[in-house]
Structure 1
Amino acid sequence: MTPTGSARVKAVLGESVAHVYVPYDLPDAVYRFMQCFKPKLAVMIETEIWPNLFAHCGKNNIPLYIVNARIAAKSVANYQKLSALIHPALAQVDLIATQTQADAEHFIAIGGIKDKVKNLGNIKFDVEIAQDTIEQGLRLKADLFKDRFVWLIASTHKDEEAIFLQLYPIIKAKIPELLLVIVPRHQQRFAEVKKLCEAQLTTVMRTTNAPVNAQTDLYVVDSIGELKMFYAAADIAFVGGSMVAAGGHNILEAAAVGVPVLFGPNMSNFKEIADGVLKQQAAIQCQTTEDVVQAVLTLYQQPDYRAELIAKGKTFIRDNQGTVTRICELFEFALKP
């Protein structure tokens, strides 16, 4: 759906798949797209509801699924206002496989057929981290970040980097070997983040291949597709989008790599995951900047606590896996001749 998504498909899957953009949801555009590709199965992710595309699938008996489906409670009323579009669209769907029971109830509330809505869990729990990726991260830590306590801030948004730049000298005063690593969420912001960071701290940009020395305060990852490797190179990781009103980001990759996870107060897009991981005491939520400072210092001072968070994080993921298998079984059934 986006240039960033297209780049990730090419980087991860290469020539094993053909990637094209979904057409605008206009009857003629959808018709030409379908005539060209003649799909045997249509799978939408999360909250992708396209009335014309769905109508074409129904008219042509193309099995249609919405998987990992989710709708925020605050969005239900907005979808209900569009019932003339949403109800007929959802009537074409063979199954809506939701992330949580709450999501299932939300889809039913906006017009999903009750018998075709099932809570199958969240596919994000089925994250797999290649051992090569972890080993690359550990080598990076040993070579580039040697003797540094690495505090990674992942998937930052506008105005979020500034928060951590202000906190860095406070924490640095108590952790002399501290190195801040920032990974912006969107590549179009790389230049903006570079300018902001270089104005305040001694900064190295990933794409310059410059070394990190004792005077380096900050390392900015201005590249795509390397976040998992940098999680493996970190001592602790703070998942961004959560200190500003962006709804947070997926914390499961960091936990799966094996790094203690922190996040801020704004996790509305991942509420169930955040609630679950906190219930298991497998991560730390920081409500304020003071909480962030205290959490970083505590984790630095208590390596046993870091190890405990890592172990609990991996258990939390393992206990919630299996959704991908359940969904694939549905697809196999749909594609049977």
Structure 2
Amino acid sequence: MLLYRLLVSIFALWVLAGLVLRRDRTALRQRLAAGPAEPGPHLWLHAASNGELASARPLVDALRGARPDLPLLVTCNSPTGVALAQSWGLAARLAPLDLGWVARRMHRKWQVRGHIAMESELWPHRVLTCPGPVFVMGGRLTEGTARGWRLFGALQRRLLRRIAYVSAQDAGSLARYRAAGLPARAAGPVVDLKALYTPETRRDPALCATFDRRLTWLAASTHEGEEEVVLAAHLRARAEIPGLRLILAPRHPRRAEAVLRLIVETGLSCARRSLGQDPATAEVYLADTMGEMGLLYPLAGRIFIGGTLTDRGGHTPYEPAAYGAALLHGPDVANFRAPFARLDAAHAALQVASAEDLGAALIRLAPPDAQDALGGAAQAALRPEADAQELVRELTERLDAAG
């Protein structure tokens, strides 16, 4: 533990010095677990940033419903994560530095009854000084991280013996947790928290009336270099499927003007969502807005997952799969290797590498029953071992047992 204390102390000095130079008193106090705390006991949940926190939303909602008597305190390493938690009506602040005295102060001031660490955010002092049970949700332990822990001798084994429950996000992580010393009683189901995504219930009646799901496909979260492929594939498929409609949603709406030029150059008509233009007669609907994918997914029976024809590593298959759409993707799936491997093993998605491939796949999936069959297969392949309510039940049982 001596080596860890030395390294984390150096890191803390570097962080604190930066805050002092920026005269950010609020962040400085939060990093030291200073300042006022809300009264009463709390369950402390820590996520690295807004991405990890967003994936935990179903878990957060289930916890709030199951234990209204034990409010959540959320900490994140980034201000955007803090802002996201606050937008959900939660107490939130920047994560305290993992110094022993700071961790003890945090537990004491907020009357912490248990600690939930998301993914790989397992900080030794927070764990070892926690007065209640410690949980790891969506736990991720890569080969590289496992090797890094070995530099600290028996510290990792000591931490894992303190863990009450781990739900790993993949089988490899669970195996590495066990090899490192996780007690058998603490091993929970393998659940990638992103798989807990539930479809939005809100709908845009005007869009639903405009788009026939059987004749509409969506290119979701595309990046530079992919729109050309998408548009070429659309032209090819439309020659075989009269009335085929395309909804094109760039990952970054700021690229809308550049994408619009590409659409115009292909000779296709376009309506832009950000300008409120009517998509009824447009051949391409440019969805150049943020935070509206939940409105777009239900409109399409076929969805191409962007970022997979570039070097971006691809985007989540969980969300489009939740809407029962047939999934298409390119070969670059590094960011979501495990779920795409499950889709591949179950023949539950079609992989494409070019405009010709994508156009042919769209034609192959023209029959509505083909779209439904592939969409259903994707839902089945990505179904988690446990849902949010089951995970929360395990957590609350251990919290109650700890008193």
The aligned residue for residue 261 of structure 2 is: 199
Based on CA coordinates, which of the two structures has the bigger radius of gyration? 2
Deviation per CA, 1:3-45, whole angstroms, max 9, x where unpaired?
A: 665666566xx43x33434345566765665454343222122
Question: Matches of residues 34-113 of structure 1 in structure 2 within 5 Å?
Answer: 34-49=107-122, 51=123, 54-71=124-141, 75-84=142-151, 88=155, 90-91=159-160, 92-108=162-178, 111-113=180-182
Work out the CA distance in 1 between the residues paired with 2:352 and 2:341.
Answer: 13
* Deviations 1:178-202, CA, capped at 9 Å, x for gaps: 33323344xxx321x2132122114
Q: What is the aligned length?
A: 316
DSSP-derived class of the 2:93 partner: coil
Give the structure 1 partner of residue 360 of structure 2.
294
Report the 3-state secondary structure (helix = DSSP H, G, I; strand = E; otherwise coil) of the residue aligned with 2:363: helix
In the aligned structure 2, how far is the partner of 1:120 from the partner of 1:296?
A: 36
What residue ranges of structure 1 are gaps of 5+ in the alignment? Answer: none
Equivalent residue of 1:295, what SS? helix
The residue type paired with residue 187 of structure 2 is K
Structure 1 position 153, deviation (Å): 2.0
Q: 2 CA distance for matches of 1:214 and 1:148?
A: 17
1:152 to 218, 224, 233: 218
Deviation, structure 1 residue 289: 4.1
For residues 274 and 37 of structure 1, the distance between their equivalents in structure 2, rounded to whole angstroms, comes to: 41
8 Å CA contact 2:107–2:130 kept in 1: the answer is no
| 1:280 aligned residue (335, 346, 360) | 346
Aligned residue in 2 for 1:328: 392
RMSD: 3.4
List runs of 5+ in structure 2 lacking aligned partners. Answer: 1-48, 51-78, 265-269
Task: Write the mapping of 1:210-221 to structure 2, written as runs, cut at 5 A.
Answer: 210-221=277-288
Amino acid at match of 2:256: K
Asked if structure 2 preserves the Cα contact closer than 8 Å seen for 1:100 and 1:119, the reply is no
User: Which residue does 2:190 correspond to in 1?
Assistant: 121
3-state DSSP of counterpart to 1:20: strand
With over 3 angstroms needed to count, the CA separation of the structure-2 counterparts of 1:171 and 1:262, relative to structure 1, is same
Percent identity over the alignment is: 22
Asked if structure 1 preserves the Cα contact closer than 8 Å seen for 2:273 and 2:289, the reply is yes
Specify whether residues 184 and 31 from structure 1 end up closer, same or farther in structure 2 by C-alpha distance, changes over 3 A only.
farther
Q: Is the Cα–Cα contact under 8 Å of residues 206 and 223 in structure 1 kept in the other structure?
A: no
SS in 1 for 2:116: strand
Distance 2:109 2:258 in 1: 46
5 and 94 in structure 1: CA distance in 2 versus 1, 3 angstrom threshold: same
Partner SS for 1:95: strand
Partner of 1:233: 299
1:103/1:199 CA distance change after superposition, 3 Å: same
Q: In the TM superposition, what is the alpha-carbon distance from 1:112 to its structure 2 partner? A: 4.8
SS of 2:304 mapped into structure 1: strand
- SS of the counterpart of 2:311? coil
State how far apart, in whole Å, the 2-side matches of 1:290 and 1:10 are. Answer: 46
Question: For 2:91, what is the secondary structure of its paired residue?
Answer: coil
Name 2:319's counterpart in structure 1: 253
For normalisation by structure 2, the TM-score amounts to 0.66
